[in-house]
Amino acid sequence: MADKVDDGRVSTIGEGGKRVWLYPKWIRGDKLNARGVVHWVLIVLLLIGPWIDIGGHPATRVDIPGRRLYFWGATLMATDGAYLLFLAGFVVFGVFFFTALFGRAWCGWTCPQTVFLESLIRPVERFIEGSASQRRKLDAGPWTGKKVAKKAAKYGFYLLFASAVGTTFTAYFLGRHGVLEAQLHPLSHPGGTATFLFITGLLLFDFAWFREQTCLVVCPYGRFQSVLLDEDSLAVGYDHHRGEPRGKVKDENAGDCVDCRACVTVCPTGIDIRKGAQMECIQCMACIDACTPIMKKLGREPNLIRLDSQRHLSSPKSSPKSSPKSSPKSDEVGFWRRALRPRVIAYGVGLVVVFSIMVFALGQRQPVGLDLHRMSGAPPYIALDEGRVQNSLEIRIQNRSAEPRAFQVSLVDGEGTELLVPGGELVVEAESTRQFPVFLIRAADLGDGQVVLEVSDDLGFSESVEIVFLAGSRGAP
């Protein structure tokens, strides 16, 4: 195994560019307990979406053939694409706002990579192979029957979980019945089968080998965070004024840091937080939970490593050295300085505006969508006998509700115009779109003119649509 080189390069790169495998030590503290709760809530929400029903439909599904999106009781159809733009804007402004205010909370607390790796993969690895030192010794040792059994059990679980996520991801698109059919009969859904195999293989590769490299090499978030963060953004940081110079416990001239390296041994990306802000930090706060009990055991105040702003951490006044040594926690002035920064206000206003527009648009969304247009492939008008002209039209009715609707079409405004609706009543199934032919006939000498139709049903819906009647030329025979 390559030796780690401490020259400022990424911590998982050793001599000759070889991979340095990480063995983060497991520790439990208040921050990681809270993070674990968040992780498991997200895991459950992710995995149950396609498998439970809300309102007669899967809680979460992207039905591409049916052109529908089901999301926890809400149903969006193909014509509702504008709402997805609002949602995308809400996500973008949300990321900007919360990053500027709370730092990389997404990476350590809600990113799927961290959620899966820290709350499922590493715990199973510890359960099967033991502590960090035991895992390191196992990997360095010869291949024995015991080592083969442990590795087989570990990778077997990785494959099982990767398959579960791959199945669930595919079910988001095929539905639960479709994905199960695809797994029983792979050739019945080639696209679904290929998606399942790709996601499963990708996750297995990530869990078994790539791991933190996803954060360090692939993910762009750490690279553009410098655009979103400033001196007042919250970030996990080390208090240099209080901790330096490092020394022995009984050294009166030394700072609070006793160089125990507990913060380094627990880091899932292998960094030393004492070197300052680093792109590789995912703000998981494991180093805080590792440092806090050390400080308490030594009779010193915690928060040597804490979630704070760079401005506050770099101020000598925030880190008085006294006996017992202490550093203040987050203060109200610091909070309001962070919350009222121009960029936070700008991101917050954008977030509120986009969210308000989205809520307003959803509130104004009608249960029925209408569109009256000319029949495809038919001429604009047809000359009939007795000096009459016919326009062939189609009315498109989208029923967005969860029950069938029967519609009637009537003529509201169009003097001298006759309306013909084949079949009379127009029935549209729940969450479906249908097109029906309608015909308008009027005397040619009336010329072109605006015609208004009213579409109503027995559930109280009523809306008007209009179109220009084309007669060719006035006085045409």
Decide which of 99 and 42 is more confident.
42
When pLDDT is cut at 50, 70 and 90, the band that residue 476 belongs to is: very low
Among the listed residues 283, 244, 250, 243, the one whose alpha carbon sits nearest the alpha carbon of residue 267: 283
Structural domains in the chain, CATH included, are: 1-141+212-365 (no CATH), 368-469 (2.60.40.10)
CA angle 61, 64, 68 (to 5 degrees): 60
Q: What is the pLDDT at residue 9?
A: 60
CB-based contacts of 347: which residues, under 8 Å, 6+ apart?
93, 96, 97, 100
SS3 468: strand
When pLDDT is cut at 50, 70 and 90, the band that residue 10 belongs to is: low
Question: In sequence order, what are the beta bridge partners of 396?
Answer: 371, 435
When pLDDT is cut at 50, 70 and 90, the band that residue 331 belongs to is: very low
CB-based contacts of 268: which residues, under 8 Å, 6+ apart?
22, 24, 114, 117, 118, 122, 212, 282, 284, 286
Q: What digits encode the pLDDT tens for the residues 235-281? A: 899 999 999 899 888 888 889 999 999 999 999 999 999 998 888 89
When pLDDT is cut at 50, 70 and 90, the band that residue 4 belongs to is: very low
Q: What digits encode the pLDDT tens for the residues 442-469? A: 888 888 888 999 999 888 889 999 999 9
Per DSSP, the residues of 59-101 read SEEEETTTTEEEETTEEEEGGGHHHHHHHHHHHHHHHHHHHHH
Helices assigned H by DSSP within 298-434? 310-313, 332-339, 342-364
User: Could you tell me the maximum CA-CA distance found in the chain, to the nearest angstrom?
Assistant: 112
Decide which of 170 and 431 is more confident.
170
When pLDDT is cut at 50, 70 and 90, the band that residue 202 belongs to is: very high
Q: What is the pLDDT at residue 317?
A: 59
pLDDT at 169 over 90: yes
Decide which of 339 and 89 is more confident.
89
Decide which of 338 and 74 is more confident.
74
Q: Which of 47-61, 102-116, 158-172, 211-225 has the lowest mean pLDDT?
A: 211-225
Kindly state the percentage of the chain with pLDDT values over 70. 92
Q: Measured in whole angstroms, how far is the alpha carbon of residue 460 from the centre of its chain?
A: 38
Backbone angles phi, psi at 64, to 5 degrees: -65, -50
Asked whether the beta carbons of 407 and 397 are under 8 A apart, the reply is yes
pLDDT at 320 over 80: no
Q: What is the pLDDT at residue 360?
A: 87
Q: What digits encode the pLDDT tens for the residues 279-314? A: 889 999 999 999 999 999 999 988 999 998 888 888
Long-range contacts of 135-142, Cβ-Cβ distance < 8 Å, separation of 24 or more: 135/23, 136/23, 139/1, 139/21, 140/1
Indicate the average pLDDT of the chain.
86
Kindly state the percentage of the chain with pLDDT values over 90. 45
Asked whether the beta carbons of 450 and 469 are under 8 A apart, the reply is yes
Question: In sequence order, what are the beta bridge partners of 426?
Answer: 407
Mean of the pLDDT values across residues 182-199? 91
Q: What is the pLDDT at residue 337?
A: 66
